[in-house]
Amino acid sequence: MSENVFVISAAMIPFGKHRTSSYVGLAVSPLIDAIRDAGIEKSDVDAVYVGHSYGGMMTGQRICKEIGLGTVPTVNVDNACSSGATAIHEAWQAISQGLIDIAVVIGVEKLTQFGGGTLPLSPEDREVKQGIIMPAVYAMRATRYLHETDATPEDLALVSVKARKHGALNPFAQFRKETTVEEVLNARRVADPLTLPMCCPTGDGAAVVVLASERARKRLDSKPGIRVAASVLHSGHVAEGFRDMIKPEISYDSARDAYAMAGVGPKDLDMIELHDAFSIAELIYYEAFGLAEPGHGVDLIRDGKTTFGGDVVVNPSGGLLSKGHPVGASGVAQVAEAFWQLTDQAGARQIDKARWAMTHVTGGGTAGLDHGACTIHIFEAA
């Protein structure tokens, strides 16, 4: 029998360039805050799951030992940008199957260690060898989307403008200054038609959430929490040769399965935190999630349907474009935002009467797959 699982606390540090911090230094503070806010002792923790991609051997153990949290299983999870969300999925599985009652999930990454530029990718990947790195992939998607629809570069800029507007309200966002369409379009070009503000910034960060079974939550005297209504993890279809650049089947499939598991549809959602690593991604994912018909995602950003006061608030945190994208931490930070929104703790960016939230993060580009991994969670206020 599957048990209900709840997120009962969340904490994070402001994402940014923390050049003098180690992985341990980034993660210890939110780890302490999340355990304290959950109202638990270290001895209550049954397992720790740690998402990161570039932290090296035993990152989780090195973090936990700093607060004296040992002996329990500590699992290090690498699934590229989906690492943190995959760690949450693993914790959810263990609790829902009745194996454990309380799990701590840490997402952490330090990208300033690479000195700037694009993310290091596998030198063995044949597409990487040909220069198909992430900005190139999304530039091709943007070019195709502009060709197939009536979208324009101004529409791509509108996504960045919305992200900066939301990020200006979030004390954890890397960019907290609003921008204009003109500033976005006139910025340095990274990969045509994408300019710099249409690409998420690199940076460092850490986020932590605590998950608990219904039994444990009752024992803890009903701390504020949100129910995990769906937790879905997919890998991409293997498809050599042609693939549709503007129809990421892994996100379509994951959303379909998440809606079925949660028993809700796109019209029920009050907020979505999605993987907007580049502005074009947001328009494509509107369509993947059923918010708009194929080719019409651009209408939502034009009509203001995905900001405060619209049909559903997409990336109220500012998303990756504004908050930043320390890859292993991003999926956990998305869930932290869902926790704060559904428990009425989001401050200036609070969505009125938010009840349902979805988080979505993809992971890695691999030759023959549109993405390596995709994790979607749906949460209900509880």
Nearest to 11 by CA among 350, 281, 286, 345: 345
CA–CA separation, 348 and 45 (whole Å): 32
Is-contact 282 319, C-beta < 8 A? yes
Q: Let me know: does 271 contact 344? Beta carbons within 8 Å.
A: no
Under DSSP, the state recorded for 176 is -
Separation CA 38–CA 224 (nearest Å): 9
Which residue in 64, 81, 199, 374 is the catalytic one? Answer: 81
CA distance readout (Å), 168 to 161, 175, 277, 321: 11, 7, 18, 12
Helix (H) or strand (E) holding 229: strand 226-235
Half-sphere exposure (CA, 13 Å, Cβ side) for 156? 29
Q: Is the peptide bond before 193 cis (omega within 30 degrees of 0)?
A: yes
Q: Which of 319, 292, 298 has its CA nearest to residue 81?
A: 319
> Residue 143 and residue 244: Cα distance in Å, rounded?
12
If residue 381 lies in a helix (H) or strand (E), which one and from where to where?
strand 373-381
For residue 362, the cross-strand partners are 374
The answer to whether 331 touches 107, Cβ cutoff 8 Å, is yes
- The residues pairing with 208 across neighbouring beta strands, listed in sequence order, are 11, 106
Element (H, E) at 378: strand 373-381
64 tagged catalytic: no
Q: How far apart are CA 111 and CA 125, in angstroms?
A: 21
Residues annotated catalytic, as ranges: 81
